[in-house]
Amino acid sequence: MLTAAVAPVTADFSQETWWISVIKAVVLVVFLLTSVLFAIWFERKVVARMQVRPGPNVHGPFGLLQSLADAMKLLFKEDMTVTAADKIVYFVAPMIAVFCSLLTFAVIPLGPVVNLFGHQTPLQLTDFPVAVLYILACASVGVYGIVLGGWASNSTYPLLGSVRSTAQVISYELAMGLSLVSVFLVAGSMSTSQIVSSQTQIWWFIPLIPAFVIYVFSMVGETNRLPFDLPEAEGELVSGYMTEYSSMKFAWFFLAEYINMLNVSAVATTLFLGGWRAPWPISAINDGMFNHGWWPVLWFLVKLWAVMFFFVWVRGSVLRFRYDQFMKLGWKVLIPAALGWLVLVALVQGMRKFWEIDRSVLFGAAGVLVVFIVITAFLPERKKPEPPPPAKPEPFDAFAGGYPVPPLPGQVLPPSPRRDRQRASVGAQAQVASSPDAPSETDPTTPEVHGG
């Protein structure tokens, strides 16, 4: 897809000084905060267009200042605290959620090595051999903010929302981790800079399309977004784990959600979409001049916001799942599919390494396998034979052992003798009343009873 093959290269931070690292950290925080404001406006505008309405268009040009107005409203809103809440955990929980969400971008490469104030430094805060595991760890710890926030509120609905969030993260983080392992196998590293460097020839979402699809499903479930926003389902749990929060504490949870959307979008861009590398037609211009300098930051942002548009598109198009459907998708579909794909990728990588099989042959075999799976998936199902009619249950004798025993499900008690006698008595009275010899109200021989 891109220029000539280059061996995976790790980012070199040897010429970087401490104050350049501080500048990078501050720029990343400012970038995330401003991106959240833009993401809120972007989501409202896109969903409004999908629903044929104007959206924000009053505050500032094109309504761009609407998000800033909402942030100021939350800042000056009255802050209320639940009386029965665990005060320390109640305050710390939103901070945990925001702090963990700010950590992921530290290992995301935004571009190649550039000249910054006379120092050659990569456009990345830091990198290490297990950077992707660090990203998964930050996402796992961030759920503690949701769980503790729901528990510390000492209320039913927030607790239910936090418990749902725990089950959701456990379910979908397993599928997400398994989908990323196939990238580690083909890239030969868990370093984010090396993974981007390994996508010089082809972006990994093309040969690893099943892993990419599994990751897309998992990232939507991981961030509690529609149609997987079960921890904060307004129709069921009022607002889920955020029900008892207001003012800035509520804004911190809101901020963490949108930063996590940016995080998973950046991970998808880095691991599957070539990172900061330009797409194929542009990358071939002037021997890849657009893959050097500050141009790659533009390509990274374009890919990042393309994934963010997918988030908004799904929210405006798909209804919320039921909880049983949601858990069934995670445990019965995504995790088995990710495991099967991981085994297949491991076998292919082993054959390429030890038997030296051409890549085109493997791609052809994989294409035939995918076509076979798709065809078998759309074949008409065989009609199952109709089950035989259920046998008539035998009457259950409750006094067979000498003691009265209640019937089990499916067992039928014998008819009650008392009920049979009552029915016979009622039938006899009705027969007497309907006989021609029975006295009637209009019979002159019937004695009249007068009240005194």
68-106 residue pLDDT tens:
888 888 888 887 878 877 888 888 888 998 998 999 899
Q: What is the pTM of this model?
A: 0.76
Q: Does residue 310 carry a pLDDT above 80?
A: yes
Q: Does residue 33 carry a pLDDT above 60?
A: yes
What pLDDT, on the 0 to 100 scale, is given for residue 235?
A: 61
Q: Does residue 5 carry a pLDDT above 50?
A: no
Question: Rounded to an integer, what distance in angstroms lies between the CA atom of residue 434 and that of residue 145?
Answer: 78
What pLDDT digit, counting tens, does each position of 260-282 carry?
999 999 999 999 988 888 887 77
Beta bridge partners of 116: 119
What pLDDT digit, counting tens, does each position of 175-200 carry?
899 999 999 988 888 899 899 988 88
Q: Does residue 440 carry a pLDDT above 70?
A: no
pLDDT band at 378 (very low <50, low <70, confident <90, very high): low
What pLDDT digit, counting tens, does each position of 295-304 carry?
889 999 999 9
What pLDDT, on the 0 to 100 scale, is given for residue 302?
A: 92
Question: Where does residue 382 fall: left (phi above 0), alpha (psi -120 to 50 degrees), or beta otherwise?
Answer: beta
pLDDT band at 358 (very low <50, low <70, confident <90, very high): low
Question: Rounded to an integer, what distance in angstroms lies between the CA atom of residue 348 and that of residue 234?
Answer: 46
How far is the first Cα of the chain from the last one, in angstroms, to the nearest whole number?
A: 111
Q: Does residue 451 carry a pLDDT above 60?
A: no
pLDDT band at 446 (very low <50, low <70, confident <90, very high): very low
> What amino acid occupies position 18?
W
Q: Does residue 306 carry a pLDDT above 90?
A: yes
What pLDDT digit, counting tens, does each position of 117-131 carry?
877 888 888 888 889
Question: Rounded to an integer, what distance in angstroms lies between the CA atom of residue 96 and that of residue 29?
Answer: 16
What pLDDT, on the 0 to 100 scale, is given for residue 2?
A: 36
What pLDDT, on the 0 to 100 scale, is given for residue 267?
A: 93
Question: Rounded to an integer, what distance in angstroms lies between the CA atom of residue 259 and that of residue 105?
Answer: 10
pLDDT band at 9 (very low <50, low <70, confident <90, very high): low
Q: Which long-range contacts (CB under 8 A, 24 or more apart) does 283-290 make?
A: 283/1, 283/2, 283/3, 284/2, 284/3, 287/3, 288/2, 288/3
Residues 6+ apart with CB under 8 A from 61: none
pLDDT band at 285 (very low <50, low <70, confident <90, very high): confident
Alpha carbon distances (Å) from 339 to 103, 211, 335, 368, 371: 28, 10, 6, 20, 19
pLDDT band at 236 (very low <50, low <70, confident <90, very high): low
